[in-house]
């Protein structure tokens, strides 16, 4: 199996190359090629999983050296791929959920003239993400990291004829470049400190580096994670990314891009475990983003943007767990896997609703769809129950373990983190119940007249993936955490240490369920009874702030964009006055000298004779003076 690992990323990348370079002759079969490459990669992943499970624990990691990549002086980087227990979790999620999204896209994009190109971009996305998680060194990870950024730019801006889509793609690209700068600096620190970029060398030598170096390295990796995983302060691109087709939203939010930051921090656990200040930074970012996304989700009327805010919040849970170190790494990955199922199902369900409602995204114009779209209602409902953490659905198992780990962290900080995690669970129950009620319950609120939508169930190519993801939303959490199976699976690759919370685990579970019940009750009371206004009321200041994404864009503009503009203007002015002025001054001086010399060229022989005579007299005088000495 070691010699065939390259097939995992190669298959979708080959599909992308064929679809993007093959031209219009492939328009009729482009979607089939895209689906085939994704499914083939998933089959290879399943084979790798079977082979790995059949081996002893010590022999499970697989490695394949492909070629010498960067043999430059003292920097020598080989391009190699590896699969260990952590990598396999991501590979199965990326290829499995990615394949279902490909199949869903066949029906969703059926009438789009750019469908072949769309599937090419999807395959590029899968291939880049697989390189990111399978690389055995940080430079290979960086290659996949940048590939994911490119693919997201192409997919978010796929409908580039819409100015909003083009702007959203550019925003996602620019914000992610800020995070990518952090990863680039981290690579420089690694090479300077360890003389290598391979995981084995960096992690094996981490304990010999100074704490200040490891802290700087940890914060640069955290900056990178904030960009890709849409964590505060680099979260502003995620809501606007909903301008892309809905399958893109499912792929970005569930199986690929936003999980990259969680993978990076978890993979680099030897660095963070030796840098407590960096780990504290991870905890703060995760806790703040957890609440940030939940508050925003409570005020969004656009169904996709409500789910996008939910993703921000759920990734915040995962980042918080990774910041807890060995007590949380495993549960961060467990929640990442369960989230991959229910969030993909929720986005695909939202796409099904939009498909039936003539691309309307405002939930205030939905209502009563449960009887008209029973399959969508049931599958979306399973995802809803999973994300709010109702037993026995998957989110109950994975999120509760993160809440327990938060309470178990040291000192008073544990109580604060635990309460924040509980509040996040309550807010999640509120905004997701709001989505369910506004979309599927109550009386129909869509427009009347000639343009009235006629809601109908989506075709089988769309509903079949939704059903499979709904099954995963039910079973995934229990399977992963039954008997701590995820702990025994990941512990050889990811450190694990059980920390006992200050109160019994069962009481934390009851508290979480009580908070969830309160969130559900408040949402039902507010939205299930009475009329729903066509437009959102003005609301309280916090509601207004939440609708404006808690002024994330305004903060970035004031803190970074405006000062950046001023700095650029100052540098440009300095360049014009100093550098260009010096160059221009030299040229003007030479020009003036040339003009003066040119005036001496009169064309008269007598003038030249006088000049020669004067020169001769000067030379003679100098020689006489020198001779007298």
Dihedral sign of CA atoms 295, 476, 415, 413 in order: negative
Q: Where are the alpha helices (DSSP H) in 389-459?
A: 394-408, 411-440
Q: Which of 352, 261, 268 is nearest to 312 (CA)?
A: 261
pLDDT of residue 528: 87
360 neighbors 453 (Cβ within 8 angstroms): yes
Dihedral sign of CA atoms 481, 482, 484, 488 in order: negative
Q: Which of 398, 271, 273, 259 is nearest to 324 (CA)?
A: 273
Q: Going from the first residue of the chain to its last (629 residues), give the mean pLDDT of each consecutive group of 10, the final group possibly shorter.
A: 86 96 92 96 96 91 90 85 95 96 94 94 96 96 96 94 92 93 96 94 94 96 95 91 91 85 96 95 96 94 94 96 94 94 94 90 91 94 95 90 92 86 96 96 74 78 94 80 82 90 92 96 90 80 85 83 84 82 84 77 74 84 76
Euclidean distance between CA atoms 136 and 143, whole angstroms: 12
How big is the CA angle at 135 (ends 249 and 128), to the nearest 5 degrees?
A: 30
How big is the CA angle at 272 (ends 268 and 276), to the nearest 5 degrees?
A: 175
Euclidean distance between CA atoms 174 and 186, whole angstroms: 19
Euclidean distance between CA atoms 47 and 564, whole angstroms: 50
Distances (CA, A) of 223 to 36, 176, 515: 36, 10, 32
In sequence order, the β-bridge partners of residue 62 are 83
63: how many CB neighbours lie within 10 A of its CB? 13
Q: Which of 140, 116, 121 is nearest to 64 (CA)?
A: 140
pLDDT of residue 450: 44
pLDDT of residue 629: 60
For the question of whether the overall pTM of this predicted structure is more than 0.75, the answer is yes
The kind and range of the H/E element at 64 are strand 62-72
SS (H, E, C) 79-131: EEEEECHHHHHHHHHHHHHHHHHHHHHHHHCCCCCCHHHHHHHHHHHHHHHHH
Q: Which of 128, 130, 158, 122 is nearest to 242 (CA)?
A: 158
Euclidean distance between CA atoms 114 and 38, whole angstroms: 19
359: how many CB neighbours lie within 10 A of its CB? 10
Q: Is the peptide bond before 233 cis (omega within 30 degrees of 0)?
A: yes
């Amino acid at each position: 199996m070691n010699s065939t690992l390259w097939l995992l990323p190669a298959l979708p990348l080959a599909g992308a190359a064929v679809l993007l370079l093959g031209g219009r002759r492939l328009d009729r079969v482009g979607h089939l090629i895209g689906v085939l490459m994704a499914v083939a990669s998933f089959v290879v992943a399943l084979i790798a999983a079977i082979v790995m499970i059949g081996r002893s624990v010590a022999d499970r990691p697989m490695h394949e050296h492909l070629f010498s990549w960067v043999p430059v002086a003292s920097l020598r980087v080989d391009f190699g791929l590896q699969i260990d227990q952590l990598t396999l979790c991501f590979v199965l999620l990326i290829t499995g959920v990615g394949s279902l999204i490909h199949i869903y896209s066949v029906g969703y994009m059926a009438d789009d003239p750019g469908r072949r190109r769309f599937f090419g971009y999807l395959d590029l996305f899968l291939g880049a993400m697989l390189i990111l998680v399978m690389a055995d060194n940080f430079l290979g990870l960086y290659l996949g990291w940048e590939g994911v950024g490119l693919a997201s730019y192409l997919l978010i801006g796929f409908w580039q004829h819409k100015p909003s889509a083009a702007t959203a793609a550019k925003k996602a690209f620019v914000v992610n470049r800020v995070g990518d700068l952090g990863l680039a600096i981290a690579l420089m620190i690694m090479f300077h400190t360890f003389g290598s970029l391979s995981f084995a060398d960096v992690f094996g030598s981490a304990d010999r580096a100074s704490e200040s170096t490891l802290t700087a390295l940890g914060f640069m990796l955290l900056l990178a994670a904030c960009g890709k995983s849409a964590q505060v302060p680099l979260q502003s691109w995620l809501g606007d990314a909903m301008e892309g087709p809905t399958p893109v939203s499912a792929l970005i939010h569930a199986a690929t891009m936003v999980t990259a930051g969680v993978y990076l921090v978890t993979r680099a656990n030897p660095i963070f475990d030796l840098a407590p200040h960096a780990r504290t930074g991870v905890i703060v970012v995760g806790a703040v983003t957890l609440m940030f996304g939940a508050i925003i989700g409570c005020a969004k009327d656009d169904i996709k943007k409500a789910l996008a805010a939910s993703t921000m919040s759920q990734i915040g849970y995962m980042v918080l767990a990774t910041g807890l170190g060995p007590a949380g790494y495993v549960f961060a990955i467990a929640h990442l896997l369960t989230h991959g199922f229910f969030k993909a199902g929720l986005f695909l369900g939202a796409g099904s609703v939009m498909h039936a409602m003539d691309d309307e995204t405002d939930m205030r114009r939905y209502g009563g769809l449960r009887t008209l779209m029973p399959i969508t209602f049931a599958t979306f409902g399973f995802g809803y129950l999973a994300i709010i953490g109702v037993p026995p659905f998957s989110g109950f198992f994975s999120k509760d373990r993160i809440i327990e780990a938060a309470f178990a962290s040291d000192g008073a900080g544990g109580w604060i983190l635990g309460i924040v995690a509980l509040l996040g669970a309550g807010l999640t129950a509120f905004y997701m119940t709001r989505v369910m009620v506004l979309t599927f319950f109550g009386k129909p609120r869509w427009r009347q007249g000639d343009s009235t939508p006629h809601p109908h169930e989506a075709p089988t190519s769309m509903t079949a993936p939704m059903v499979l993801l709904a099954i995963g939303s039910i079973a995934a959490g229990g399977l992963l955490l039954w008997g701590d199976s995820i702990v025994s699976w990941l512990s050889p690759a990811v450190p694990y240490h059980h920390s006992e919370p200050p109160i019994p685990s069962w009481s934390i579970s009851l508290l979480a369920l009580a908070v969830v019940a309160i969130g559900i009750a408040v949402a039902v009371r507010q939205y299930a009874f009475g009329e729903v206004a066509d437009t959102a009321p003005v609301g309280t200041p916090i509601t207004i702030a939440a609708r404006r994404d808690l002024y994330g864009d305004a903060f970035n503009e004031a803190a970074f964009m405006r000062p950046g503009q001023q700095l650029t203007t100052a540098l440009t002015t300095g360049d014009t006055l100093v550098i260009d002025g010096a160059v221009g001054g030299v040229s003007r001086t030479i020009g003036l000298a040339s003009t003066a010399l040119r005036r001496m060229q009169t064309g008269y022989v007598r003038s030249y004779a006088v000049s020669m005579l004067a020169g001769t007299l000067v030379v003679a005088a100098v020689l006489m003076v020198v001779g007298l000495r």
